[in-house]
Amino acid sequence: MFGLVEWREEGARGGARELRVHGVRFLAVSVVRGGGLRAAWSLRRAAGILRRNGVTQAVFPRDFSDYAAFAAHGIVSVEVRPLREALAADIVRRAMVQAGLAPEETTAALCAARVTRAYAAAAERLARRVRYVRLCTAHGGWELSDTLRRTLGAAVPVEPCAEGADVVLGFDDSMGRPAARLCLPLYDPALRVEYGAQALDEARGEEPEQLLAAWYASLALRAEDIVVRGVYSANIGVER
């Protein structure tokens, strides 16, 4: 079960309650906005309730910043990386559109220490749409390259680094930050992704990516149900 941290309305009492959002069960707690002793007390109390109930990951409200108060109790925000990895090809294509890069002229490099299921899926989807795709990985690259050649007829080389690529998609930090027009490190909180999904109609102020990640992890939502609407980062030179 995930936690759900909400802002407490003025005069409302604290406590916890179970609720379902898009079919997923959450333990909801509330905190007071702002600073001061009352706000600090509400943070400690909410974190303590979640910890006692065995919750280790929670969805936080928009504009929340006191993550350290929950981390001290062993509670962190829902891991968004699996969601980003499942939507990796869509994130690349959306960033390319924003940057005005034509698929038939673009070189995209996928960087990771080893090939994973998400890496292979992203490589296959990009190889269908982007003319030049490189596999920058130390383990499993040649096998994936051979599979893509046999199944798609695509020449997808394995390269030791991503230098010279227009787009670099990083599944981990094994290759650092190669110079590229678009650098998209999926593991980096500085990368911001804006989504669209019908299920978000049920959101009431939660951080959208965390909420979608909780639904995705709970199998309540498929990657196909989610649209990538925007990709924003200092690494790609595109601002909201």
Per-residue confidence at 8, pLDDT binned at 50, 70, 90? confident
Side chain identity at residue 189, one-letter code: P
| Contacts with 100 (C-beta within 8 Å, 6 or more apart), sequence order | none
What strand order describes the sheet that includes 16-21?
16-21, 24-31, 2-7, 57-59, 76-77
Q: What is the pLDDT of residue 238?
A: 39
What average pLDDT does this structure show over 42-50? 95
- Rounded Cα distance between 27 and 102, Å, is 45
Side chain identity at residue 33, one-letter code: R
pLDDT digits over 183-207, tens only? 999 999 999 999 999 999 888 889 9
Token pair listed for 94:
């959306």
Q: What is the CATH topology of the domain spanning 82-185? A: Rossmann fold (3.40.50)
The SS3 of residue 36 is: helix
Please check whether residue 67 is in contact with residue 76, taking contact to mean a CB–CB distance below 8 angstroms.
yes
Residue 239 has pLDDT above 50, yes or no: no
Pick from 73, 124, 44, 98: nearest CA to 230: 98
Q: What is the pLDDT of residue 12?
A: 67
Q: What is the pTM of this model?
A: 0.91
pLDDT digits over 51-77, tens only? 999 999 999 999 899 999 999 999 999
